[in-house]
Chains A and B, each alone.
Chain A
Amino acid sequence: MNKISHEEFFNSFKDSLGVEGTNTLLAQLLYQLNIQKKEFYSIEEALKICEAMRSKGGFISIVAGILAARFLIR
């Protein structure tokens, strides 16, 4: 079964939000979704994270859409 790494989420935002901004965003989303931070997430968890990102609006929402599409194709 495909797993999505935390690193993939991190790398997708570090160039636009910076290292700390990305860590803050991911920590907020995981807390909101009650998902524990781990090295790999299931596809279902990853898609939930993307869905929560979409509610943030702006470019975060667009990246979330791109990531969700990538995960589903994979």
Chain B
Amino acid sequence: MATIFKTGIVTGKESYAAGAEAAHIAATKLGKHKPDIAVIFASSDYNQSELMNGIRSVIPNVPVIGCSAAGTFTEDEVSTNGVACALIASDNCKFFSGISKNVSYDVIEAVKKASENFPLASGDYTFRSAIVLVDGLIGKGEEIVLAAHAVLGTDVKFSGGAAADNYEMKKTLVFSNGQALEDAVSICMIHSKSPVIISIKHGHKPLSPSLTVTKSKDNIVYEIDNQPAFDVWKKHLEKEMERLGIDIKNLSNERISEIFQNYEAGLQTGTDYKVRFPTSLNPNGAMKFGCSMMEGSVIKIMCSSQEDQIVSAKIAAKNAIEQAKGRKIAGALIFDCSCRRMILKDKFSAAVNEIKQVLNVPIIGFETYGEIAMEMGELSGFHNATTVIMLLPE
């Protein structure tokens, strides 16, 4: 049997029916094989408990992991208000899932609790990797992946993402085994006979000169170059707004905040940049990011064209295939920043199509509020405005 990866996607419909139908489509494609794990990415418009019940009505004893999303997709469809389901059956991989709350209180303890029933080893399934899904609004992205690294071990590769809620920025949920929780982490540990493949790529380039974060706490930046952070963003984006014909003087702060989410912060890490996504503007003019921003950090305001976004998605897929070195792939999980849809708008499906054409295997993905990718030995695994692809070998 090796590994078989099949997907279903449903747009709209009532929550229970949508969950049941997405699971039914994937289960029908899987045929006689019994799924070992179900991966669910769902619009936050659904009642998540009812959605879970619908899924479990079709696959009652199958472990489920997943989260709410800002859009979902499979190889068949791209949806802004749907539910995507992947069912995986494998005799080359073993899957172990767990969930825990109170991540914002104690991130290490939350990871320990979520993983307390994971075995350390599974015989000749010698490669270990983990899919980590976390509440996207608590600003603990970098912490969660490092905590997972500290708790699960140095030989584990990580992929995953921060749950989203259709850009409402109010409530994001992660799922595991019938529960849908806020302020939580859902972890799926994979023990496999061959390693999973993880590829990442962003499509942003710098627009502003270097700017120094002069006042910040956790994931909130109050001042840049000793001025209110938002004023600095506005000043450096004036010309760009003029170019786009946008008169920001006549717009509300809320509308400006929405527009400015297309312009991320870039931390120079050598020859490349680590992109950080401003999730919202606070009333005092401070900017909230998806993870911690340290005082003294030097950033540049980043931008990306629609073409850059489509090309970077394709490069991520090509890099993943290159890493596979001819090994057969069962399917791919894709964690793609929600800002890609904001930039691409109705062209978003073009980026998914590029990935689909290069990979040529079943895919499931969602638009995140942050992406997780960390290879063994690395000590930073949280990304924004990036495409993360995890290939599951056959």
A interface residues with partner B (beta carbon < 8 Å):
12-21, 24-25, 28, 58-60, 62-63, 65-66
Contact = CB atoms under 8 A, between A and B. Distances in A.
Given A58-B218, A59-B292, A66-B150, A20 B212 contact: yes
Nearest to B148: A62
A19 B296 contact: no
Contacts of A18: 267-269, 274, 297-299
B298 A59 contact: no
Contacts of B394: none
Interface residues of B, number: 29
B151 to A, nearest CB: 10
B147 interface: yes
B150 A62 contact: yes
Contact of A62 (B146, B210, B295): B146
Classify the interface of chain A: helix, strand, loop or mixed.
Answer: helix
Interface string B131-163: 000000000001100110110000000000000
Given A58-B218, A58-B292, A19 B268 contact: yes
A66 B294 CA distance: 19
A15 B269 contact: yes
B388 to A, nearest CB: 15
B306 interface: no
B108 interface: yes
B142 to A, nearest CB: 4
A-B pairs with the 3 shortest C-beta distances? A24-B296, A18-B267, A21-B297
Nearest to B379: A12
Contacts of A66: 146, 149-150, 379
A72 B317 CA distance: 39
B378 A15 contact: yes
A58 B143 contact: yes
B283 interface: no
Contacts of B147: 62
B224 to A, nearest CB: 13
A16 B276 CA distance: 10
Contacts of B143: 58-59, 62
B297 A20 contact: yes
A60 B291 CA distance: 12
B270 A14 contact: yes
B377 to A, nearest CB: 10
Contacts of B319: none
Contact of A20 (B149, B298, B378, B379): B298
B380 interface: yes
B379 A63 contact: yes
Given A13-B380, A62-B147, 11 more contacts: A17-B267, A17-B294, A18-B268, A18-B269, A20-B298, A21-B297, A62-B107, A62-B108, A63-B146, A65-B150, A66-B379
Contacts of A28: 296
Interface in B80-138: 107-108
A17 B268 CA distance: 9
Contacts of A20: 210, 212, 268, 296-298
Contacts of A60: 294
B380 A16 contact: yes
Interface in B326-379: 378-379
Contacts of B270: 14, 19
A16 B273 CA distance: 10
A11 to B, nearest CB: 8
Contact of B274 (A12, A16, A25, A58): A16
Contacts of A14: 269-270
Given A20-B268, A62-B147, A62-B150, A15 B296 contact: no
A43 B150 CA distance: 20
B92 to A, nearest CB: 30
B39 to A, nearest CB: 26
A44 to B, nearest CB: 22
13 contacts: A15-B269, A15-B378, A16-B379, A16-B380, A17-B294, A19-B298, A20-B212, A21-B298, A25-B294, A58-B143, A59-B143, A62-B143, A66-B379
